[in-house]
Structure 1
Amino acid sequence: MKKVNRRGLTLSLVLSVTAGYVDAIGFIDTGGLFVSFMSGNSTQAGVEVLEHGITAAFMPLSLVLAFVLGVTAGALVGDDDRRRVRAVAGSAAAVAGSAALAVFLPEEPWRFWILAFAMGAVNTLYLAEGRARVAITYATGTLVSLGLALAALMTGRSRSAWQRPLILWGSLAGGAVVGAAAHRLGSAISLLIAAGVLAIAALALVLRRDGRGASAT
């Protein structure tokens, strides 16, 4: 996270809020599964296998697979600038598609797979050496960073490293609160709001890239 500048961090926070928002909607609609928090789905799958058999674990495992495929697709769609635009824009389109399915096919599992795919893709926003530099949707990694930063604070190695992971975690948790509230408007409307935010984020990335290109000439 240290290599991401302030503008990049702002975008990461927007996407993290959106991820928490979408995850809350998915959690409510699926009755307890996640579209961005795959640790929870993995645990749920293990419990389902033991209590109800392998077939009961299909849905949480399929969400994990969709998320991984989203990460894979996001990492393959171009170089850094193009990947960011395409990953965020593609996620916006996917969330909008899920909103449409919520209207016409509300029980269709595809709409949750699409959301998990989209949330996987946004984790490819900042990559370095084959790893995501910013944990957009997974709070566990962010909390590990927070704990390490607090250790650094206590030992005098860094006074401010704890701030970014705390803000990032707070954005994800806050987004979940907003998503749960927005769900009262209905799944379709609440997801369209998320799609709109992602579309604006993609547009901001395009304008930023074009601005750099113009300044370079």
Structure 2
Amino acid sequence: MKDVDRGALAISAALAGVAGYVDAIGFLDTGGLFVSFMSGNSTQAAVEVFGPGAAVALASAGIIAAFVFGVAVGGVAATLLARPRAWIVGGATVAVALVAVLAFGGETTLWRVALLAAGMGALNTLFLADGRARVAITYSTGTLVSLGLALAAAATGGSRRAWRRPLLLWSSLVGGAVVGAVAHRGGSPFALSLAAVVLAIATVILAVRPSTPERRPAAER
């Protein structure tokens, strides 16, 4: 994460907030499943697979598959497209906006939740290096591991400021979830529409940013 500039970090924090926000809405709509936090869905699927909640296990597995599909699509975009970050966030914007529109029509369905999961999965491909995500936008466990290691480094003579970035991303995710839970009281269509607006703004910002930071030669990473 240390090679991500301040502008990119600010965008990452904003998108982490959106991921937490959308995750809270998905959690409340489904009664306990996630669209950003796949560790939770994995555990849910595992404990229900041979129990009375086999349908829940299947739903969890479907959401996980959609999330992985979103990551794969984002990875392809990052490899093949010019200004891939704008395209990736733009795709997530379309996914969230579409679900918001469809939510006006009735109850939550699994494929709508899966569409949200795919959009959130794609966000994790914004900052890639050597085929790996440099910034954990939607998964808090990796961010907390980075935070713990940064604290360890500070305690043993290393950087005394490296802990700030993972703490910012984790706080953004949690804060977004809190706001999402509050916004959900006004209904999913309204809450998801707000998320789509924020993603659209992020898309425009990424589209007009200088293109140099988008892709960096291996020698510079």
Q: Flag the 1:65–1:211 CA change in 2: closer, same or farther, 3 A.
A: closer
Write the deviation string for residues 102-150 of structure 1: whole angstroms up to 9, x where unpaired: 1114232111011000000111110000000000000000000001001
TM-score (norm 1): 0.93
Q: Which runs of 5+ in 1 are unaligned?
A: 213-217
Match for residue 44 of structure 1? 44
1:200 aligns with 2:201: yes
1:82 shift after superposition: 2.1
Alignment of 1:58-137 (within 5 A): 58-79=58-79, 82-137=83-138
SS in 1 for 2:137: coil
TM-score (norm 2): 0.92
SS in 2 for 1:50: coil
1:94 shift after superposition: 0.3
Alignment of 1:178-189 (within 5 A): 178-189=179-190
Alignment of 1:122-201 (within 5 A): 122-201=123-202
Question: Between the two proteins, what is the percent identity of the paired residues?
Answer: 58
Match for residue 215 of structure 1? none
Q: Is the 8 A contact 1:101 1:108 kept in 2?
A: no
1:55 shift after superposition: 4.0
When the two chains are superposed, the root-mean-square deviation of aligned CA atoms in Å is: 1.6
Q: Tell me how far apart the structure 2 counterparts of residues 73 and 91 of structure 1 sit (CA, whole Å).
A: 11
Q: Tell me how far apart the structure 2 counterparts of residues 2 and 53 of structure 1 sit (CA, whole Å).
A: 43
Match for residue 57 of structure 1? 57
SS in 1 for 2:109: coil
How many residue pairs were aligned?
212
Range with greater deviation from structure 2 (64-73 or 103-112)? 103-112
Give the 4+ runs in structure 1 shifted more than 4 A. Answer: 78-81
Q: Flag the 1:68–1:211 CA change in 2: closer, same or farther, 3 A.
A: closer
Q: Is the 8 A contact 1:146 1:162 kept in 2?
A: yes
Q: Tell me how far apart the structure 1 counterparts of residues 36 and 210 of structure 2 sit (CA, whole Å).
A: 27
SS in 1 for 2:3: coil
Larger fraction in helix: 1
Q: Is the 8 A contact 1:75 1:83 kept in 2?
A: no
Matched letter for residue 32 of structure 1: G
Matched letter for residue 75 of structure 1: G
Range with greater deviation from structure 2 (19-28 or 51-60)? 51-60
Q: Tell me how far apart the structure 1 counterparts of residues 148 and 82 of structure 2 sit (CA, whole Å).
A: 31
